[in-house]
Amino acid sequence: MALVKTKALVIREQPYQDHDKLLTLFTEKEGKQRAIAKGARRRKSGMASAVQLFAFSEMVYYPGKNFASINEARLIESFYPLRNHIGRMTLASYITELLDVFYDFYQGSDIILKGVTHILYYLSENKAKCDEALALALQLKLCKLNGIGPVLDRCVNCGQAEDLTGFSVGGGGTVCARCKSPGGQKLNAAELDTLRFCMRSPFKLVRDTDFDENMVRRLFTMMNFYISKQLDRKMKSFEFYTSVLSGF
């Protein structure tokens, strides 16, 4: 098979055999890929920095039946400052896990890859006014691009656009006061505006916007629950992130 040359983000890594690494890559041209970086755990490996978690690199690899085999890797950006802040590092881990759960192998999105590398840069350099707003925006955009809603402009039960005061995880979006179940998720006007803003706005605008951080955290948590239910996948990194916030 012909060599593949593409930009790629390392979204998972684990030791493999004595000196190798088994990686999950989110690539620009080939979608999500599983790849082996031979010798990457050796002290003098020339590709070590380019195949670490969060590394955004230009890679050359041979496709394989089970794993691609990385031939070359040149680091573009390591986002190294993330490692100096446990909260931002665990939030970055959640962001990369989102890519892993939303896309099967050989599927991907160059637009999402570009957006995620921007988010990782904003987090690593402490550029955002509200870090979790970036994660919320990514949650919403991934849901929209992958066809799982959520509906935010009308009641998912009756279709009316007025008096939207709740959110139905099972129904897939907002519900009106008449249709909202007594124990259902409440949603006020400011929260609904924030969801709509984060879904439609570019990450740069989300980065520069002032938010009520407590409100964003509630929406971020709600959307994590929504994604877990829609995809039937438990997000382990979210649990770790919340434990970090609470001081373990």
Q: Report the CATH number that the domain containing residue 34 is assigned in CATH.
A: 2.40.50.140
pLDDT over threshold 90, residue 65:
no
In this predicted structure, what is the pLDDT of residue 182? Answer: 82
| Model pLDDT for residues 82-121, shown as the tens digit of each residue | 999 999 999 999 999 999 999 999 999 999 999 999 999 9
| Model pLDDT for residues 5-64, shown as the tens digit of each residue | 999 999 999 999 889 999 999 999 999 999 999 999 988 888 999 999 999 999 999 998
In this predicted structure, what is the pLDDT of residue 187? Answer: 96
Q: Which amino acid is it at 161?
A: A
- In the block, tokens 């948590």 appear at 221
- Please tell me whether residues 98 and 206 are part of one structural domain: yes
Ramachandran area for residue 184 (φ above 0: left; ψ -120 to 50: alpha; else beta): beta
- Please tell me whether residues 73 and 171 are part of one structural domain: no
- Please tell me whether residues 44 and 17 are part of one structural domain: yes
- Please tell me whether residues 36 and 114 are part of one structural domain: no
- Please tell me whether residues 31 and 118 are part of one structural domain: no
Q: What is the mean pLDDT of the chain?
A: 95
pLDDT band (50, 70, 90) for residue 1? low
Structural domains counted in the chain: 2
Domain boundary among 78, 93, 112: 78
- Please tell me whether residues 117 and 169 are part of one structural domain: yes
- Please tell me whether residues 68 and 99 are part of one structural domain: no
- Please tell me whether residues 111 and 93 are part of one structural domain: yes
pLDDT over threshold 90, residue 209:
yes
Q: What percent of the chain has pLDDT over 70?
A: 99
Domain boundary among 45, 78, 111: 78
| Model pLDDT for residues 133-155, shown as the tens digit of each residue | 999 999 999 999 999 989 999 99
Cα separation, 162 vs 27, whole angstroms: 42
What is the Cα gyration radius of the chain? 20
What is the residue range of 63's domain? Answer: 4-78
pLDDT over threshold 80, residue 248:
no
Tally of CB atoms within 10 A around 43? 6
In this predicted structure, what is the pLDDT of residue 116? Answer: 98
- Please tell me whether residues 20 and 120 are part of one structural domain: no
- Please tell me whether residues 72 and 132 are part of one structural domain: no
- Please tell me whether residues 29 and 140 are part of one structural domain: no
Model pTM score: 0.95
Q: Report the CATH number that the domain containing residue 189 is assigned in CATH.
A: 1.20.1440.120
Domain boundary among 78, 95, 112: 78
Identify which of 154, 155, 152 has the alpha carbon closest to the alpha carbon of residue 136: 152
- Please tell me whether residues 149 and 52 are part of one structural domain: no
